[in-house]
Amino acid sequence: MPGSQNREDINTEDVLNYINNRFGVKVENLDKFNIVEISGDFWLISDQELPDLDYKTQGVRFVRDTGKYLKPTTYGLQIQGEKISGARIQVTREELKTVLNGDMVEKEMEIGEGYVAIVYEERVIGCGLYKDGLLSSRIPKGRGKELNDMI
């Protein structure tokens, strides 16, 4: 699967290359962020000075290292949104509800197997996995339930 590497070798450049090669996001589109590795995951952190507020994290988890693959997060893909030109799978309302309920949807796509951006009505909804002609959701269950209730 694309993004597969030995954990010890993963660095920010590898993450940028993966996001560019898989999703078509140009490195320049990430210039307003610092990409920082925290506990083996890669986070997007604003390059702006943060106000003196109480917050839990300074950024958004962008890419996880699963130990086997690099996996973009739902929020990371949503932030990139329209900048994503590759590995996008457009779904109908019914298909979206199906994957959010934990089932798979058959899709014949000319796209390599791996993680994809699930797109509904031109908006990136989150991360999915495309394998063997089937699309499944990798959107966190709680967030998926919220989305399912809204559509």
pLDDT tier for residue 18 given thresholds of 50, 70 and 90:
very high
Q: Is residue 1 part of a domain?
A: no
Does a structural domain hold residue 2?
Answer: no
Q: Write down the pTM of the prediction.
A: 0.87
**Pairing state of beta strands 114-120 and 88-90?**
parallel
How confident is the model over 57-66, as a mean pLDDT?
89
> Each residue of 84-112: pLDDT tens digit?
999 999 999 999 999 999 999 999 999 99
Whether the per-residue pLDDT at 5 is higher than 50: the answer is no
Question: What mean pLDDT is predicted for residues 112-129?
Answer: 97
Structure tokens at 85: 């030109």
Q: Is residue 135 part of a domain?
A: yes
> What's the number of domains the chain is made of?
1
Instruction: Enter the tokens of residue 83.
Output: 């900048």
With both helix axes pointing from N to C terminus, report the angle between 141-150 and 93-100 in degrees, rounded to the nearest 10: 150
Does the residue 109 lie in any domain?
Answer: yes
Compare 2 and 8 and report the one with higher pLDDT: 8
CA 8 to chain centre: 22
CATH of residue 103's domain is 3.10.450.720
Rounded Cα distance between 82 and 73, Å, is: 16
Grouping H, G, I as helix, E, B as strand and the rest as coil, residue 106 is strand
